[in-house]
Amino acid sequence: MLLYRWQTSAIAGRQVWTPPPTRRVPKNIPYLIDNLWEYLRPVTMPSRRHVLLASPSPEQARDSGSPTMPGGRLYRVTLPRGGTICQIPQNDAKHHPDVSNHRRINEVLLAALGGQEFIDGDLARKSVFPLWSPCLLKDEVASILDTIGDPGLVGRLQTELSFWRDAAVVDPTGPTSFPNGEVFIRAEICELWPVEGM
Protein backbone atom coordinates (compact mmCIF):
# COMPACT_ATOMS: atom_id res chain seq x y z
CA MET A 1 0.00 0.00 0.00
CA LEU A 2 1.34 3.40 -1.00
CA LEU A 3 0.18 6.52 0.81
CA TYR A 4 1.00 10.17 0.19
CA ARG A 5 0.85 13.44 2.05
CA TRP A 6 1.23 17.05 0.94
CA GLN A 7 2.66 19.44 3.48
CA THR A 8 4.62 22.61 3.83
CA SER A 9 8.26 22.01 4.60
CA ALA A 10 11.62 23.60 4.02
CA ILE A 11 13.30 20.23 4.50
CA ALA A 12 14.24 18.58 1.22
CA GLY A 13 14.91 15.10 2.59
CA ARG A 14 13.28 12.57 4.87
CA GLN A 15 11.03 13.86 7.64
CA VAL A 16 9.90 12.15 10.80
CA TRP A 17 6.32 12.67 11.92
CA THR A 18 5.27 12.14 15.53
CA PRO A 19 1.81 12.71 17.00
CA PRO A 20 1.14 16.30 17.99
CA PRO A 21 1.27 16.82 21.77
CA THR A 22 -1.93 18.87 21.66
CA ARG A 23 -5.30 18.24 20.07
CA ARG A 24 -5.53 19.39 16.45
CA VAL A 25 -8.33 21.92 16.00
CA PRO A 26 -10.38 21.06 12.89
CA LYS A 27 -10.23 23.64 10.11
CA ASN A 28 -13.07 22.38 7.91
CA ILE A 29 -15.27 20.41 10.31
CA PRO A 30 -17.81 22.17 12.57
CA TYR A 31 -16.65 21.90 16.19
CA LEU A 32 -19.94 20.29 17.22
CA ILE A 33 -19.51 17.51 14.65
CA ASP A 34 -15.87 16.97 15.60
CA ASN A 35 -16.81 16.73 19.28
CA LEU A 36 -19.58 14.25 18.59
CA TRP A 37 -17.26 12.17 16.37
CA GLU A 38 -14.80 12.02 19.25
CA TYR A 39 -17.57 11.09 21.69
CA LEU A 40 -18.91 8.31 19.44
CA ARG A 41 -15.46 7.03 18.42
CA PRO A 42 -14.99 3.30 19.08
CA VAL A 43 -11.95 2.50 21.22
CA THR A 44 -10.43 0.57 18.30
CA MET A 45 -10.38 3.68 16.12
CA PRO A 46 -7.77 6.46 16.37
CA SER A 47 -8.71 9.96 17.42
CA ARG A 48 -8.47 12.20 14.36
CA ARG A 49 -6.93 14.86 16.58
CA HIS A 50 -3.65 12.96 16.93
CA VAL A 51 -3.16 11.25 13.56
CA LEU A 52 -1.25 11.68 10.34
CA LEU A 53 -3.64 12.30 7.46
CA ALA A 54 -2.71 10.79 4.10
CA SER A 55 -4.13 9.91 0.69
CA PRO A 56 -3.95 6.86 -1.59
CA SER A 57 -2.68 8.86 -4.57
CA PRO A 58 -0.26 11.76 -5.14
CA GLU A 59 -2.95 13.77 -6.94
CA GLN A 60 -5.40 13.43 -4.08
CA ALA A 61 -2.70 14.33 -1.54
CA ARG A 62 -2.04 17.56 -3.45
CA ASP A 63 -5.74 18.34 -3.66
CA SER A 64 -6.30 17.61 0.04
CA GLY A 65 -3.25 19.60 1.10
CA SER A 66 -2.55 23.19 0.23
CA PRO A 67 -0.91 22.97 -3.22
CA THR A 68 -0.87 26.74 -3.64
CA MET A 69 0.91 27.28 -0.33
CA PRO A 70 4.55 28.29 -0.78
CA GLY A 71 6.96 25.53 0.16
CA GLY A 72 4.46 22.72 -0.32
CA ARG A 73 5.92 19.32 -1.05
CA LEU A 74 4.61 15.83 -1.81
CA TYR A 75 5.77 12.98 0.44
CA ARG A 76 5.40 9.21 0.41
CA VAL A 77 4.41 7.88 3.83
CA THR A 78 6.29 4.90 5.22
CA LEU A 79 3.71 2.87 7.10
CA PRO A 80 4.37 2.28 10.78
CA ARG A 81 4.65 -1.03 12.56
CA GLY A 82 2.11 -1.50 15.30
CA GLY A 83 0.00 1.52 14.43
CA THR A 84 -3.62 1.71 13.33
CA ILE A 85 -4.62 2.77 9.83
CA CYS A 86 -8.21 3.80 9.12
CA GLN A 87 -9.94 5.11 6.04
CA ILE A 88 -13.22 6.77 5.13
CA PRO A 89 -14.84 6.62 1.67
CA GLN A 90 -14.62 10.41 1.13
CA ASN A 91 -11.38 12.00 -0.09
CA ASP A 92 -11.53 14.45 2.83
CA ALA A 93 -13.52 14.35 6.09
CA LYS A 94 -14.98 17.75 5.24
CA HIS A 95 -16.96 15.97 2.48
CA HIS A 96 -18.46 13.37 4.84
CA PRO A 97 -22.28 13.53 4.96
CA ASP A 98 -22.18 14.26 8.71
CA VAL A 99 -20.59 17.62 7.90
CA SER A 100 -23.22 18.63 5.36
CA ASN A 101 -25.85 17.31 7.80
CA HIS A 102 -24.66 19.48 10.71
CA ARG A 103 -27.84 21.57 10.70
CA ARG A 104 -29.85 18.41 11.31
CA ILE A 105 -27.60 17.55 14.27
CA ASN A 106 -28.21 21.04 15.69
CA GLU A 107 -31.97 20.43 15.33
CA VAL A 108 -31.74 17.08 17.16
CA LEU A 109 -29.89 18.72 20.06
CA LEU A 110 -32.19 21.74 20.16
CA ALA A 111 -35.26 19.48 20.29
CA ALA A 112 -33.73 17.50 23.17
CA LEU A 113 -33.03 20.78 24.99
CA GLY A 114 -36.64 21.94 24.72
CA GLY A 115 -36.68 23.91 21.49
CA GLN A 116 -37.95 27.46 21.73
CA GLU A 117 -38.21 27.32 25.52
CA PHE A 118 -34.46 26.66 25.67
CA ILE A 119 -33.73 29.41 23.13
CA ASP A 120 -35.75 31.93 25.15
CA GLY A 121 -34.34 30.75 28.49
CA ASP A 122 -31.70 32.50 30.52
CA LEU A 123 -27.97 31.89 30.23
CA ALA A 124 -27.85 29.67 33.33
CA ARG A 125 -29.80 27.00 31.42
CA LYS A 126 -27.36 27.03 28.53
CA SER A 127 -24.57 24.95 30.06
CA VAL A 128 -24.42 22.88 26.85
CA PHE A 129 -22.75 25.68 24.89
CA PRO A 130 -19.27 24.11 25.19
CA LEU A 131 -20.45 21.41 22.73
CA TRP A 132 -19.84 24.04 20.04
CA SER A 133 -16.27 24.79 21.19
CA PRO A 134 -13.16 23.06 19.82
CA CYS A 135 -11.62 19.76 20.84
CA LEU A 136 -13.64 18.51 23.79
CA LEU A 137 -12.64 15.18 25.27
CA LYS A 138 -15.00 12.22 25.12
CA ASP A 139 -15.72 12.47 28.86
CA GLU A 140 -16.43 16.18 28.57
CA VAL A 141 -19.00 15.57 25.82
CA ALA A 142 -20.56 12.74 27.86
CA SER A 143 -20.86 15.01 30.89
CA ILE A 144 -22.58 17.73 28.86
CA LEU A 145 -24.99 15.29 27.19
CA ASP A 146 -25.87 13.87 30.62
CA THR A 147 -27.02 17.31 31.76
CA ILE A 148 -29.61 17.37 28.97
CA GLY A 149 -31.49 14.53 30.65
CA ASP A 150 -32.82 12.89 27.49
CA PRO A 151 -32.13 9.12 27.69
CA GLY A 152 -32.76 8.63 23.95
CA LEU A 153 -30.49 11.44 22.75
CA VAL A 154 -27.29 9.41 22.38
CA GLY A 155 -29.13 6.78 20.33
CA ARG A 156 -30.53 9.46 18.02
CA LEU A 157 -27.06 10.97 17.58
CA GLN A 158 -25.64 7.52 16.80
CA THR A 159 -28.32 7.11 14.13
CA GLU A 160 -27.71 10.54 12.60
CA LEU A 161 -23.89 10.44 12.61
CA SER A 162 -22.39 7.73 10.39
CA PHE A 163 -18.68 8.66 10.35
CA TRP A 164 -17.46 5.67 12.38
CA ARG A 165 -19.88 3.25 10.70
CA ASP A 166 -18.41 4.35 7.36
CA ALA A 167 -14.77 4.13 8.50
CA ALA A 168 -12.74 0.96 8.00
CA VAL A 169 -9.56 -0.31 9.62
CA VAL A 170 -7.03 -0.98 6.86
CA ASP A 171 -4.54 -3.85 6.81
CA PRO A 172 -1.16 -2.22 6.01
CA THR A 173 -0.11 -5.27 3.99
CA GLY A 174 -3.13 -5.03 1.69
CA PRO A 175 -4.86 -2.43 -0.46
CA THR A 176 -6.82 0.52 0.89
CA SER A 177 -10.50 -0.07 1.63
CA PHE A 178 -11.64 2.77 -0.64
CA PRO A 179 -9.87 3.92 -3.82
CA ASN A 180 -10.03 7.64 -3.01
CA GLY A 181 -10.73 7.79 0.71
CA GLU A 182 -8.84 9.88 3.24
CA VAL A 183 -6.53 7.78 5.41
CA PHE A 184 -5.64 8.51 9.02
CA ILE A 185 -2.77 6.84 10.80
CA ARG A 186 -2.23 6.45 14.53
CA ALA A 187 1.41 5.66 15.24
CA GLU A 188 4.28 6.70 17.46
CA ILE A 189 6.32 7.63 14.39
CA CYS A 190 5.93 7.80 10.60
CA GLU A 191 8.59 8.55 8.01
CA LEU A 192 7.87 10.91 5.13
CA TRP A 193 10.02 10.69 2.01
CA PRO A 194 9.90 13.43 -0.63
CA VAL A 195 8.54 12.42 -4.03
CA GLU A 196 10.64 14.08 -6.68
CA GLY A 197 9.22 15.46 -9.91
CA MET A 198 5.60 15.64 -8.69
First to last CA, the chain: 19
Residues 32-84 have pLDDT tens digits of 999 999 999 999 999 999 999 999 999 999 887 765 666 788 999 998 778 89
> How far apart are alpha carbons 18 and 165 in whole angstroms?
27
Give residue 92's identity as a one-letter amino acid code.
D
Residues 125-157 have pLDDT tens digits of 678 999 999 999 999 999 999 999 899 999 999
> How far apart are alpha carbons 137 and 52 in whole angstroms?
19
Q: What is the DSSP string of 101-147?
A: THHHHHHHHHHHHTTHHHHHS-GGG-TTGGGGSS---HHHHHHHHHH
Residues 97-126 have pLDDT tens digits of 999 999 999 999 999 998 888 888 877 667
CA angle centred on 190, ends 140 and 22, rounded to 5°: 25
What are the sequence ranges of the domains in the chain? 3-194
Cβ proximity of 160 and 70 under 8 Å: no
In the chain, what percentage of residues exceed pLDDT 70? 94
